[in-house]
Amino acid sequence: MDYQELMNKAIEASKNSYSPYSKFAVGACLLTESGKIYCGCNFENSSFGMTICAERNAIGSAIADGERKIKAIAIYSPNQKHCYPCGACRQVLNEFKTKEGLDVITESEEGLEISKLSFLLPEGFNL
């Protein structure tokens, strides 16, 4: 699974976004250490604080399937170039990074950008 394929799946996932309040669709697709992929989209709620981000939706599916190590995640929004994960999602990704770290893949017309989670979340909290 190369990173462009991962991004293509994130783009597909964004089409299922339920975002009637913000109108900001997001899709995410992650790759685990074992080579499996899991996708998610954001889904909002009339009680705004209940909204779940695309990244945490995808992470939840991976965890529910027994996966614990995430190598990479592609994130896409039709509303924004280089849609980076919010602070909460960065911390949740930090929990499940591999020993080698975790690649965060974003995109614009110029192509894919690969950022290390350790760059996006320096000194993330760990117990």
How many Å apart are CA 80 and CA 64, to the nearest integer? 29
Q: Which is nearer to ligand THU, 7 or 34 (CB)?
A: 7
CB burial readout 76-86, b (16+ within 10 A) else e: bbeeeebbebe
55 is catalytic: yes
Shortest Å distance, C-beta 89 to ligand THU: 5
Shortest Å distance, C-beta 115 to ligand THU: 13
Q: What is the binding site for ligand THU (CB under 6 A)?
A: 19, 22, 24, 26, 42, 44, 51, 53-55, 85-86, 89
